[in-house]
Structure 1
C-alpha cells in the first residue's frame, strides 16, 4: 500500500494549481478503508480507521510525509465509536502534537482561491470539511440576497455566500469558539464580520425565534452533525432530520431554496430525501430537488456525503 501513495497523490496534483491547497490526498476507498490523508498546505492530517501500534502509526505518517513532501503529520484516530467518545477521549482521538515532523498550530489554506484558517491539532475537525467543497462552491456561485447558514461551524458556507454577493448572511452555531473562528475566516477575505451576523445558540431555538420575528431567507443551509448531545437531548440525524427541515421551512422565503447535507454512511440518499420531503411538506411547503451535491473528485467512490438543493414554493410560516 505504501508504495502506492505517490501515484495516488499525483492524481490530485492539479488541485493546487487551481487554487485549492486543502484537499484529500488519499481516500479510504483507495486504502481498503484503513486510512485517509488530507493535505493542508505542508501539513498532513492522517485519519486512521485501522488499529495500529504506535510504531506502525509513526511509520505510516512518515511514509505519507515523504510521499506528499509534508513538514508534519497530525493523527486522527477514528474508531466506529469516535463520534460518541470525542468529548471524553479527545487527546487520544486527536493528539494536539504531530505524530511525525514539525508542528503547524495554524495553517492558512486556499479553496478555489479563498483563504481559510485551519488548526490541524485542535480536534477531530480541523476547521473545514474538504468533502463539502463542491457544495460551498455552489453556494458561492448561486448566492441569493439573504442566506441563513445553520450549524455554521467556522462559517465556510456563510463566507461563500458573502463572497458570492449575498447582501445578508447569518451564521448560527452552538459554539462561540467556532463562530469567532468563522469571523477570522471572513477577515482573511477582507470582509466585515459584525457580531450580529454570527448568532450563538441552539439552531432549533434560533429557527423558532427567527420565525416569530418574521425573518425569511432565500437560502437556508443545513449541515448538521450526524450525532450530538445538547441540553434538549440527543440529536440523531437518522431520526430527527425531518423535524429540522420542518423548522427551517418556516424561515424560507416564497420560492426560496434549502441546501441539505449529511455526512452519515448509515443514511442513504433516498432516506435523507424522504426525511427532507416529509419535513417540508408537513410544513405546507411544496418542494422538488433542484441540484444534487456530492463530495469532490478527491473522494473517489465516496457515498458518505449526501447533499441536495431543494426548490420550494408556497409561503413560509
Structure 2
C-alpha cells in the first residue's frame, strides 16, 4: 500500500488548482480500511483504523508526508471505541505534536476558495469535515434569507450561507470554544456577524426557545454527531434523528427547507429518509427530497455520509 501512495494522491492533484487545499488525500476504501490521510495545506492528518506498532506508524507517516510533499504529519488513532475514550485518552488518540516532520499548530486551508482554520494537532476533529464539502457548496449556491445552522461546530455551513447571500444566519453549538473558532472563520472570509448569531447551548433547548419566540427559518441545517452523551441522556442518531427532524420542522418557515446530514455507515439511505419523513409527519409537515448529496470525489466508494435536502410544505 505504501508503494501506491503517489498514485492515489495524484488522483486529487487537480483539487488545489480548483481552490481546495483541504481534502481527503487517501480514503479508507483505498487502504482496506486501515488508514486515511487528510491534507490541509502543507500539513497531513493520518487516521489509523487498525493496530500499528510505533515503528509502523512512523514509517507510514513518513511515506505519506513524502508522497504528498507535506511539511508534517499528525496522527489520529481511531479504534472503534474512540468516541467513548476521547475524554480519558485524548492525548493517545490525538497526540498534539506531529509524528513526522514539522509542527503546524494552525493552517489556513481552502475549500472551494473559502478559507478555514485547521488545527491538525488540536483534537480528533481538526476544524472541518472534508466529506461534507458538497453539502457546504450546496448551501453557498442556494442560501435563502434566514438560515439556522444547528450543531454548527466551527460554522463551515454558516460561513457558506453568509457568502451565498443569506441575510441572517444563526449558528448553534454546545461548545463555546468551537463557536469562537467559527467566528475566526467568519473573519477570514471578511464576513461580519454580531455575537448573537453564535448561540451557545444545547441544540434541542435552542429549538424549543426559538419555537417559543416564534422565530422561523428558510433553511435549517442539521449536522449532529452520530453518538453523544448529555444531561438528557444518550443520543443515537439511528434511533433519535426523527425527533430532531420534528424539532427542526417546528422552526422551518412554510415552503422552507431542511438539510439533514448523518455520518453513519450502518444506516442505509432509505432508512435515514424514512426516519426523517416520520419525524416531519409528527409535526403535521410533509417533505419531499429535493437533493441527495454524498461525500466528495476524494471519498471513493464512501457510503457513510448521507446529506439530504428536504423541501417542506
TM-score, structure 1 normalization:
0.98
1:65 paired to 2:60: no
2:201 corresponds to 1:201 = yes
2:92 aligned residue: 92
Question: Number of residues paired by the alignment?
Answer: 313
Residue of structure 2 in register with 1:49 after alignment: 49
Q: Which ranges of structure 2 fall in alignment gaps of 5 or more residues?
A: none
- Tell me, what secondary structure is at the counterpart of 1:204? helix
The runs of 5 or more residues in structure 1 that have no matched partner are none
**Aligned counterpart, 1:111:** 111
CA distance in 1, matches of 2:221, 2:77: 29
Partner of residue 136, structure 1: 136
Superposed CA offset, 1:131-162 (max 9, x none): 00000000000000000000000000010000
1:189-234, Cα deviation, whole Å (9 max, x unpaired): 0111311100000000000000000000000000000001111111
Aligned partner of 1:19 in structure 2 is 19
Looking at structure 2, the residues matched to 4 and 268 of structure 1 have their Cα atoms a distance apart, in angstroms, of 31
1:283 maps to 2:283: yes
Structure 1 runs of 4+ aligned residues shifted over 6 Å read none
Distance apart, 1:84 and its partner CA: 1.3
Determine the C-alpha separation between the residues in 1 that align with 2:256 and 2:116: 28
Distance in 2 between residues matched to 1:89 and 1:199, nearest whole Å: 29
Distance in 2, Cα, partners of 1:90 & 1:271:
33
Q: What is the RMSD computed on CA atoms of the aligned residues? A: 0.5
Rounded Cα–Cα distance in structure 2 between residues aligned with 1:123 and 1:220: 27
TM-score, with structure 2 as normaliser: 0.99
CA distance in 2, matches of 1:135, 1:86: 27
What secondary structure, in the 3-state scheme, does the structure 1 residue paired with 2:9 have? Answer: helix
Give, in angstroms, the shift of residue 6 of structure 1: 0.2
User: In structure 2, how many angstroms separate the alpha carbons of the residues matched to 1:255 and 1:224?
Assistant: 23
1:300 aligns with 2:300: yes
Counterparts of 1:293 and 1:58, CA distance in 2: 36
Map of 1:6 onto structure 2: 6
